[in-house]
């Protein structure tokens, strides 16, 4: 636990403003306690705190946007909060959306959600014996979550319709790559491959956009919550499949295509059994190759934030090195050497 007087001056101000925001919504008797600064998650400021209201105590999470990347693929906190509400109504497990910040809160852009206990670190989820039962049901649970999300009425998320990733996902990646001006021949080769093999027009659905191990809170029994909705957009449901099956998210378990945990056939069958449309393996492959391109562009963007001095961090610096690893996996996948 960090007492406010042990924190930096900016955080002291934020905490006092958060306390005032809580009292606006829950009454003057409400207070906050047990404030912790989260060390994971690099794109936003995250604080954990208890909402104390009389004898009741509830653990909550404060999320505040602190930096916007140039030509960013990330949607703002307001639509993220709305997406949490939509997902919750569809039966998708998410942190409970509690409230958004308002102008009078002086907390810029962000929101507060319920805290969900569990594990997010992929290597623990993939290898720790505590999660053996969770791994057994992962494919079925993940498929059911995507089926419920994809069944949502796209009109509920019409606020995403005009985002670049909803309008033309490949074009959006090329625009970002052009902005940063880096030459990557392997990426150019993949773009040519993608342009020549675009899948037929598919039904547009609400996509999570970053559905993978690491963006889920899991317990020993299975998936407890799906996190990180800032990449959500409208598009082909097979895009969420291609992203989850990307080799980058298998964390060494390369023979298990579905997040390093499950096999494709069982995952596809579970999705269809849960009400999802028939899975097109050819379209999934296209979206996997696209996923390498997108993941490279995201790493280029994050590395730019470090070397430009706008957001210095060893984690973001390492993203520059990651591009080489992604290029190798991309080329091997194009050659048919990888599943």
CA distances from 336 to 53, 181, 285, 325, 339 (A): 58, 29, 11, 17, 7
Q: What is the pLDDT of residues 78-107, one digit of tens each?
A: 999 999 999 999 999 999 999 999 999 999
Residues of the chain with pLDDT under 50: 1-6
Length reported for the chain = 339
- d(C-alpha 335, C-alpha 331), whole Å: 6
Choose which CATH entry (3.90.1200.10, 3.30.70.260, 1.10.3720.10, 3.10.129.10) describes domain 122-334: 3.90.1200.10
**Helix H or strand E encompassing 52:** strand 44-53
The CATH class given to the 4-114 domain equals: alpha beta
Query: What's the pTM?
Result: 0.93
Domain(s) labelled CATH 3.30.200 in the chain stretch across 4-114
**Helix H or strand E encompassing 264:** helix 264-273
- d(C-alpha 292, C-alpha 246), whole Å: 7
Would you say 252 and 163 are in contact if contact means Cβ atoms under 8 Å apart?
no
- Residue 8 is predicted with a pLDDT of 55
Q: What is the pLDDT of residues 30-41, one digit of tens each?
A: 999 999 988 655
- Residue 5 is predicted with a pLDDT of 43
């Amino acid at each position: 636990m960090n007492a406010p007087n042990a924190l930096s001056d900016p955080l002291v101000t934020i905490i006092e403003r958060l306390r005032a925001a809580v009292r606006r919504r829950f009454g003057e008797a409400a207070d906050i306690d047990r404030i912790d600064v989260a060390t994971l998650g690099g794109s936003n400021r995250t604080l954990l705190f208890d909402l104390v209201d009389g004898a009741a105590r509830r653990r909550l999470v404060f999320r505040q946007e602190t930096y916007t990347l140039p030509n960013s693929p990330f949607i703002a906190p307001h639509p993220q909060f709305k997406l949490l509400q939509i997902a919750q109504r569809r039966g998708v497990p998410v942190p409970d959306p509690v409230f958004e910040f308002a102008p009078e809160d002086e907390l810029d852009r962000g929101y507060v959600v319920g805290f969900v206990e569990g594990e997010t670190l992929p290597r623990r989820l993939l290898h720790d014996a505590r999660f053996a039962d969770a791994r057994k049901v992962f494919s079925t649970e993940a498929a059911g979550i995507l089926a419920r999300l994809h069944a949502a009425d796209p009109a509920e998320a019409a606020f995403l319709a005009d985002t670049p990733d909803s309008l033309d996902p490949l074009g959006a990646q090329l625009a970002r790559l052009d902005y940063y001006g880096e030459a990557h021949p392997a990426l150019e080769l993949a773009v040519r491959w993608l342009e020549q093999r675009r899948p037929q027009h598919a039904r547009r659905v609400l996509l999570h956009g970053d559905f993978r191990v690491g963006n889920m809170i899991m317990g020993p029994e299975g998936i407890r919550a799906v996190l990180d909705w800032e990449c959500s957009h409208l598009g082909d449901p097979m895009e969420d499949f291609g992203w989850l099956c990307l080799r980058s998210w298998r964390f060494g378990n390369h023979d298990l295509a579905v997040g390093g945990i499950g096999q494709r056939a069982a995952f596809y069958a579970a999705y269809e059994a849960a009400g999802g449309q028939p899975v097109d393996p050819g379209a999934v492959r296209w979206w996997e190759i696209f996923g390498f391109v997108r993941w490279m562009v995201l790493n280029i963007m994050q590395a730019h934030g470090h070397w430009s001095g706008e957001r210095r961090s060893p984690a973001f610096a390492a993203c520059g090195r990651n591009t080489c690893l992604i290029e190798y996996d991309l080329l091997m996948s194009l050659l048919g050497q990888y599943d």
